[in-house]
Structure formats: structure tokens, C-alpha cells
Amino acid sequence: MCPKKNLNDLRKKIDKIDSTIINLINKRGGISREIGDVKKGRNQALYSPDRESQVYSGIRKKNSGPLLDGSVEAIYREIMSACLSLEKAMKIAYLGPEFTFTHQVSMKKFGSSVDYLSCDSISGVFREVEKGNADYGVVPIENSTEGAVNHTLDVFIDSPLVVCSEVYFPICHSLLSKKGNMKAIKRIYSNPQVFGQCRGWIEKHLPQAKLRDTKSTGEAAQIAAKHDDAACIASELAAAKYRLKVLAKAIEDSASNVTRFLVIGKNMSKISGKDKTSIVFSIKDKPGALYDMLSSFKKPGINLTKIESRPSKKKAWKYYFFVDMQGHCETPKIARALKTLEKKCHFVKIMGSYPRGKLNTV
């Protein structure tokens, strides 16, 4: 027969473990501060996405339960956020206002120990990082339903910033309103990409409502909070922030609705071992030119994971091509392929090499 466990004794064990954890976290913080001093002396970026990726990979391997990997990662996210803040007071720019999905992704990526700067546009996020008012920025780049966020692609062409990291974030949209009366709704506010993700639901439930574009779901929530006959499509966190009622949940047309976000900054990430490289190039106007460009990657066996085209907006029928590939630009195979590509193109730019994000990240 199992002896009866004493609650007070178990709690004393917890208290002892907590004391050990606190001491170790502070010891980790002290070493992080020393690392920060070394990096400052070498003029290195304090945030290292490659090292971050290695830490998460390491704790997943070491985790034997009963805590789930996601729970352990969430704990470490805050530990690393706090340690990073000891190295430097960091500021992250994001497409705002508060509680947009970009804001949520920013907090998920960097934790609660850094400062955040709300921007009213994607180009505004780039601008704040370029000017040094923020250390890094977070912007959406593509959605699994609606495809590329074209504004982000366009800004990258002329921006000196690079991609440092990527985050995949599952998106769940809700219909919110001030009064909570669906019959009274005449207008719905949201980002154009969001309308595309919820098109079927809107046509079925609110076909008479006029759709009004906003720069973000947060802005849409702010507007809806001022009008009795308006609604917005945003997150449930936005409902709490702007005192809106939730009329319907999970109204996105696809159950697997995921948006990919990029962390942008001034420094390229180092090789982590599981990387992705993004580039943009323009080609000479001749038959078979695009095929010739892509053959630069086929011959060495480089896996291209995405290709997207955008008009240059500078000359009619001239296009830029955006390509993602597996691997880091500093590895010999990709470095050689990019040199071959440069000889064939008018323009080639490496947008960044960075650790690959996890599709199942929650």
C-alpha cells in the first residue's frame, strides 16, 4: 500500500526547487551580461538568432517531461528575454496598434522584458529600424491562404535591412463589435488580407455589409469601438483591449490559416545548421531568362522553397523575383550559386539568411 503523501512536505520540496531555479536564472543573467560586454567590445549584434535557435533545439532534446516542449520553450522565451535586457535595453518595432497579430508575434518572439514601438505601416517599421529608433522590427510576409504581403516585398527592394529570423503564427479571426448585434452591422473594418482569409464566412453571414480596408486589425478594432453599426475582424485580445463584444469566433475560411512573419534588422544571422536564405533579383529581357536563372540552383541541388514575382514599378513589364531556398548564403554551395546568378542578372540582393521557423509553433 502506497504511503499517504503529505501536502506540506511536497510544498517544501517545491520551495527548495524554486530557490535553486531562481539562483540559477540569476547566474545565467550574470553570464549573459558578460556576453553582452564581450559583444559590445567586438561591435557585434546583441541578439543572435542562430544562438537562439540552438538554445531552443537544445532544450527540446533535454526535455524529458512531464512538461510539453511548447511549455518549456515559453518559459525559456521569458528567461532569454530577461537576460537579453540585461545586455541592452532593446526596442522592437511592429505593425500596430497594440494587439494586432504582428504585435502578438513580436511578444511571442522577444518576450515581455523588451520595449515595443507601435508603427502605423509596414514601411514605418522598416523606417524606425533603419533610423536606429528600434533594434529590430517584425512584419508579415505571407499567409497560407492569401499568399504574399506585397507591401513587405516591395519595401525590401530598396531597404538596407536584412531578414534575421522568421516566425510562423496560426491565425484565428473573430468578428467584434461595440453593441454585439450582428443585424445592426452595416460596415466591417479590417486589413485587406484578413478579408481574403474570411471571404466565405462574410458572404454567408453578412453579405450586405460594406468592407472597409484598414492598415491593421488593431486599427480596425479602434474604429469599430466608436460606431454602433460597425464591426471589425480582429483577435480576441483586441476585443478585450478595445472593449468590444465577440460576435463570432474562428471565422477564417481555412482551419490551417497560418501567417509567416519576419524579424528585420541590420545584421545577418550566422549559420545555425537549419537555415533559409531569401533573395530578390531582376532578369534580362530575353527568351528563357528565368529558366536560366533558376538553373543556377538546380545544378548544385539547392532546394528552392518559394518563388514570387512583383512588378518593379519603375519600368513597364520589368519584374523582381523573390526566392527562398534552404541553406545559408555563407555555405560554399549557395555562395557559388549566387555568384553564378549575379553574372546573369541586372540586380541581385540577399535579403537575409536566418534560422528556419517551425510550422507547428504555437
> 324 pLDDT exceeds 90?
yes
Q: Which of 70, 86, 102 is the last residue of a domain?
A: 86
Q: What is the pLDDT of residue 316?
A: 61
Residues 297 and 229 in one domain: no
Residue % of the chain over a pLDDT of 90: 62
Which tops the pLDDT comparison, 310 or 204? 204
Q: What is the pLDDT of residue 287?
A: 72
Task: Return the CATH number at 179.
Answer: 3.40.190.10
CB 282 within 8 A of CB 320: yes
Which pLDDT band holds residue 25 (cuts at 50, 70, 90)?
A: very high
Number of domains, the chain: 4
Question: For residues 297 and 288, what is the distance between their CA atoms, to the nearest angstrom?
Answer: 15
Which pLDDT band holds residue 362 (cuts at 50, 70, 90)?
A: very low
Matching residue, cell 541578439: 47
Residues 156 and 208 in one domain: no
Question: For residues 30 and 51, what is the distance between their CA atoms, to the nearest angstrom?
Answer: 18
Residues 223 and 295 in one domain: no
Cis peptide upstream of residue 97 (ω within 30 degrees of 0): yes
Which tops the pLDDT comparison, 162 or 344? 162
Whether 217 is catalytic: no
What pTM was computed for the model?
Answer: 0.85
Question: What is the pLDDT averaged over residues 304-317?
Answer: 80
Residues 128 and 196 in one domain: no
Q: For 311-318, which contacts have Cβ atoms below 8 Å and span 24 or more sequence positions? A: 312/282, 313/154, 317/285, 318/282, 318/285
DSSP string, 65-100: SSS-HHHHHHHHHHHHHHHHHHH---EEEEESSTTS
Q: What is the pLDDT of residue 2?
A: 54
Q: DSSP code of 47?
A: -
Residues 331 and 350 in one domain: yes
> 361 pLDDT exceeds 50?
no
DSSP string, 8-21: HHHHHHHHHHHHHH
Residues 225 and 210 in one domain: yes
pLDDT digit string, tens, across residues 271-305: 998 999 999 998 877 777 778 888 888 888 999 99
Residues in the chain: 362
Residues 185 and 199 in one domain: yes
Q: Which of 232, 264, 296 is the last residue of a domain?
A: 264
Mean pLDDT of the chain: 90
Q: Which residue out of 99, 169, 195, 261 is catalytically annotated?
A: 261
Question: For residues 218 and 327, what is the distance between their CA atoms, to the nearest angstrom?
Answer: 35
Range of the domain at 76: 7-86
185 three-state secondary structure: coil
Q: DSSP code of 59?
A: H
Weakest mean pLDDT among 40-49, 209-218, 347-356? 40-49
Cβ partners under 8 Å of residue 72, min gap 6? 59, 60, 63
Question: For residues 266 and 45, what is the distance between their CA atoms, to the nearest angstrom?
Answer: 9
361 assigned to some structural domain? no
Residues 341 and 273 in one domain: yes
Distance of CA 145 to the CA centre of its chain: 16
Q: Which of 59, 86, 113 is the last residue of a domain?
A: 86
The dihedral through the CA atoms of 182, 188, 193, 194 has a sign that is: negative
Question: What's the grid cell of residue 235?
Answer: 483577435
Question: For residues 245 and 235, what is the distance between their CA atoms, to the nearest angstrom?
Answer: 11
Q: Which residue out of 100, 102, 214, 259 is catalytically annotated?
A: 259
Q: What is the largest CA-CA distance in the chain?
A: 84
Which tops the pLDDT comparison, 61 or 145? 61
Whether 259 is catalytic: yes
Matching residue, cell 542562430: 50
Which pLDDT band holds residue 163 (cuts at 50, 70, 90)?
A: very high
1 assigned to some structural domain? no
pLDDT digit string, tens, across residues 168-199: 999 899 999 998 888 889 999 999 999 999 99
Task: Return the CATH number at 305.
Answer: 3.30.70.260
Question: What is the pLDDT averaged over residues 140-145?
Answer: 91
Question: What is the pLDDT averaged over residues 35-49?
Answer: 85
